[in-house]
């Protein structure tokens, strides 16, 4: 019977332990796909234990169940402070959006302990297998140990979650800004139409430095500055009586008048009008006014952070697990180690600033939106208490800066 060398058994034992670590890693529980929803809090305890109801879009019914609410959220969102009639409160939560549990509530992080425990066990088993393998075949495993240095699954995992949170906040804020601009557009157009419809093409002569025959333009149904903008430079340049370069000057002069009309009209007086379009605009503005400068700063910070984390996470991909580091080439490993170091410094900075809580709260404030008050009553009341904020925000987001009229 052939004698099997002792260290070969040691190597075999090391491989078995490594195989077990792989099995633990592969079977580690993962969070399901979720989406954020509104919750009606039917009852709530001091520790945040709640009975809630929510709309299940998959079962097409309203469901009721237990959930862990945020006990530190604003008291105005709780019980009778939020809804005096029913005594119900409000919170936001997460719902499973795929699989057999689709439609069920899900508390973010509820599976992190089990997942991290499995990953830590896998990491410990890998470390043990490495020790055993080093004893068996020192030379080969010294190289393996070097290849594994720099792996940091927990850091990469945390950075990915932070990048998702920051990206979502930046996107939510951008959507809120777009909503203001979309609601403002019909009002802006009405201001432009009203102002430019009263300015004849003859009155544009000096502003455009001449170069066109107003009578010829009138025969071509170009009577006002509004008609000039509607026609545009390409059409105007082909009309009789328009000299080369005059179409550009004429269009620019009309655009200056349009921008001026917008700047003059976009203010408190416009927002005080009783108009469904104004109600839509106040609703959209109310979201950003409620978030305030701090929320805007948080959204800008989130966008910058997401831009930093994205490239670093791509480079740090091999460091997300020991298997990936073993498979990576020398250049990829070096880049991953450098990226992990940068990620760790960023995570420390974010933790020191308390950015995660700020991002989360701002995102919740943005997601509340104006949907619960389509008539804009709450926004109108809030506008009347602080009209300057609404007018200033509208001017900042939607009104163009004055531009000099260039004469060619």
**Choice among 304-308, 322-326, 349-353 with the minimum mean pLDDT:** 322-326
Q: What percent of the chain has pLDDT over 70?
A: 74
pLDDT at 112: 59
CA distance 102 to 32: 9
* Residue 80 pLDDT greater than 70, yes or no: yes
pLDDT at 64: 92
Cα 110 to Cα 2, 46, 94, 96, 199, distances in angstroms: 54, 20, 12, 13, 65
CA distance 217 to 227: 10
* Residue 294 pLDDT greater than 70, yes or no: yes
Domain residue ranges in the chain? 6-30+113-148, 34-108, 153-183+275-398, 190-269
* Residue 51 pLDDT greater than 90, yes or no: yes
pLDDT at 5: 56
Query: Which pLDDT band holds residue 53 (cuts at 50, 70, 90)?
Result: very high
Paired tokens of 191: 């201001």
pLDDT in tens, 219-265: 777 777 777 777 777 877 777 766 677 777 777 777 777 766 667 66
Of 301, 290, 300, the closest CA to residue 180 belongs to 290
CA distance 175 to 101: 30
Query: Which pLDDT band holds residue 146 (cuts at 50, 70, 90)?
Result: very low
Most confident of 68-77, 220-229, 273-282, 326-335: 68-77
């Amino acid at each position: 019977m052939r004698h099997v060398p002792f260290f070969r058994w040691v190597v075999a034992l090391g491989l078995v332990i490594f195989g077990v670590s792989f099995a633990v890693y592969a079977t580690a529980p993962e969070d399901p796909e979720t989406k954020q929803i509104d919750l009606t809090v039917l009852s709530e305890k001091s520790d945040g234990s709640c009975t809630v109801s929510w709309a299940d879009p998959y079962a097409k019914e309203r469901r009721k169940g237990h959930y862990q609410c945020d006990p530190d959220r604003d008291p105005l969102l709780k019980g009778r402070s939020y809804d005096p009639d029913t005594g119900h409160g409000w919170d936001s939560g997460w719902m499973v959006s795929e699989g057999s549990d689709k439609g069920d509530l899900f508390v973010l992080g509820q599976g992190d302990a089990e997942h991290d425990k499995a990953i830590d066990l896998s990491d410990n088993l890998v470390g043990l297998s490495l020790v055993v393998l080093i004893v068996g075949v020192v030379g080969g495993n010294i190289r393996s140990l070097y290849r594994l240095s720099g792996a940091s699954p927990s850091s990469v995992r945390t950075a990915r979650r932070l990048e998702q949170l920051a990206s979502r906040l930046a996107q939510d804020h951008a959507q809120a800004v777009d909503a203001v601009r979309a609601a403002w557009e019909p009002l802006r157009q009405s201001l432009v139409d009203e102002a430019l419809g009263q300015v004849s093409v003859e009155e544009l002569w000096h502003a455009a430095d001449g170069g066109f025959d107003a009578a010829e333009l009138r025969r071509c149904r170009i009577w006002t500055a509004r008609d000039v903008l509607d026609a545009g430079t390409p059409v105007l340049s082909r009309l009789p009586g328009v000299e080369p370069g005059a179409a550009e000057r004429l269009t620019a002069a009309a655009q200056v008048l349009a921008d001026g009309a917008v700047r003059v009209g976009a203010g408190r007086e416009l927002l005080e009008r009783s108009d469904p379009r104004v109600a839509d605009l106040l609703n959209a503005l109310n979201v950003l006014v409620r978030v305030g400068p701090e929320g805007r700063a948080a959204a800008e910070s989130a966008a910058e952070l997401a831009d930093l984390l994205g490239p670093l996470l791509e480079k740090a991909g091999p460091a997300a697990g020991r298997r990936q580091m073993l498979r990576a080439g020398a250049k990829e490993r070096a880049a991953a180690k450098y990226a992990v170091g940068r990620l760790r410094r960023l995570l420390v900075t974010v933790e020191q600033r308390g950015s995660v809580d700020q991002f989360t709260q701002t995102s919740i404030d943005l997601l509340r939106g104006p949907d619960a008050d389509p008539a804009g009553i709450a926004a109108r009341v809030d506008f009347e208490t602080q009209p300057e904020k609404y007018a200033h925000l509208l001017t900042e987001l939607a009104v163009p800066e004055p531009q000099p009229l260039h004469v060619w």
